Structure 1
């Protein structure tokens, strides 16, 4: 897929308007990058998704997530290899197989555990992040700091898919009744993979449709502590979404609040009840306001350096 490129005027502004520098997290405690005092005028009013979506490679900086999952960027992202012993990256044309080193390690670890399940040789990996993170041209509101990743719910039975096949095959839906229940595609392997995913201490939370959470709550007979990280959310019936916590030492990263105490099963049941018995529409509810596009001025100051580093 051909991607837009920066104009010479914009590229010059990026390079002269701010410097590069190393970031605050490289697996140890590297010093934080100096933030630019001002944002170049050519950047401040432009849509951030156009700027970050044009980048083809990561920034030559130490690894560091800046900002929050839905309003940030990522220095020093690394690419998940397109194919590995227990995984394949899907939809390669999107160029979203980039993440912080801790996320790439996590994906490989989880794929090895998935490969132990019957019918699974590993995982099909969906979107992680753009090369430098930031808002995406299409799709997600999150996935901006290299600490979110989507995993297909379709069993990865073949790990020799061609590039063309990866563009054209689809995952499978596991939901029934608009997500209130699972359908016949659900297997015990899905339960075990999600349990392994949530049991990793690097994970902050995992999003999947409500009926799947309720089923796991009903069928888990052992340790239930991992269930607290499984959170019901809209959609997420073709894939599950893993969000890692900010790495230790990543001072520019904004963690999401931890899940409420308990296993969260009652909350998931409430989601299911709302699906089966939706409340009547409120005629007095105000019309939703259209979302304003994120600009560079909305992002952490370090994102200017991340975008301009060459």
Structure 2
């Protein structure tokens, strides 16, 4: 115990006080090197895009209604609430004719910034679910590395394509209706199609379906901060505020397939808008940028 405390204090001192460490290994390199979760009760620290997590557990690589994909990435770790949700949703998918779910990235074993790809997925509460309906759930490790998902978006990015099915709709609806879920990110044409399909008397849940660029090969489920994670930062604005208390099937949604794809030209003589300040990517973070608890999460053995 004394050795563990000494290790933690040494690391914390270096992280907070050493300019050399600030110029040294980035946080994503440190968290990306971890192979197992930390020996703590499950707890999320910080925000979805700037944090870490203690006590994450691995989604079993294969289950009766799911398979974890791209195992070489070792990103199939999540908060127990997330792992339970994935398994529950995979069983729901069977009710709608799928064999289950192919599960993409969740988090690294101790969360934190990733060595490649995502800005988020840092606190064990995000999960990517493939749009590809599984044909079988006995894929080998090699097959899981080489199989690709399918896009449900048309080439012009304005509508869904022939890969989109009623089962996709029902699985996404089930995810949105789950009380554990904060929001679900999808390609904008999917939300547009779901707005058309949903009954007028049953659309409030659609406020959780949030349009975002990309996300046509998978949908991204984000869970709420769970009980016991007092230092987990809730995402704002809420989906209720983003949807103005409604379902989000409005002009803000249509923007994604109009102005977003074909930005209006500035009026003659108008001054060009100042470019927005460049945000630091999480891959640039050092340990001092993360919640203070992350040093302990990283150092514990």
- Class of the TM-score when normalised by the shorter of the 2 chains: 0.7 to 0.9
Match of 1:103 in 2: 82
List alignment gaps of at least 5 residues for structure 2: none
Measured after TM superposition, the shift of residue 279 of structure 1 is: 2.4
Distance in 1 separating the partners of 2:4 and 2:254: 49
Match of 1:243 in 2: 222
Alignment of 1:19-30 (within 5 A): none
Match of 2:298 in 1: 307
1:74 and 2:74 equivalent?
A: no
Q: Secondary structure at the match of 2:275?
A: coil
Distance in 2 separating the partners of 1:154 and 1:89: 13
Distance in 2 separating the partners of 1:116 and 1:290: 43
Measured after TM superposition, the shift of residue 286 of structure 1 is: 3.0
Q: Secondary structure at the match of 1:124?
A: strand
Match of 1:25 in 2: none
Equivalent residues of 1:59, 1:75 under 8 A apart? yes
Measured after TM superposition, the shift of residue 273 of structure 1 is: 2.1
Equivalent residues of 2:43, 2:228 under 8 A apart? no
Equivalent residues of 2:34, 2:110 under 8 A apart? yes
Alignment of 1:80-229 (within 5 A): 80-118=59-97, 120-221=98-199, 223-229=202-208
Distance in 1 separating the partners of 2:67 and 2:75: 13
Which of 278, 281, 289 is residue 298 of structure 1 equivalent to?
289
Distance in 2 separating the partners of 1:149 and 1:163: 20
List alignment gaps of at least 5 residues for structure 1: 1-12, 20-34
Match of 1:279 in 2: 264
Equivalent residues of 2:52, 2:123 under 8 A apart? yes
CA RMSD of aligned residues (A): 2.3
Q: Relative to structure 1, is the Cα distance of residues 53 and 220 closer, same or farther in structure 2, using a 3 angstrom cutoff? A: same
Report the count of equivalent residues.
283
Distance in 2 separating the partners of 1:17 and 1:179: 51
Q: Higher mean Cα deviation, 213-222 or 135-144?
A: 213-222
Match of 1:10 in 2: none
Match of 2:40 in 1: 61
Q: Higher mean Cα deviation, 90-99 or 171-180?
A: 171-180
Q: Secondary structure at the match of 1:60?
A: coil
1:29-64: CA deviation from partner (whole Å, max 9, x where unpaired): xxxxxx967736365443100000000000011100
Equivalent residues of 1:178, 1:275 under 8 A apart? no
Measured after TM superposition, the shift of residue 208 of structure 1 is: 0.4
Match of 2:246 in 1: 262
Measured after TM superposition, the shift of residue 16 of structure 1 is: 3.4
Q: Higher mean Cα deviation, 244-253 or 170-179?
A: 170-179
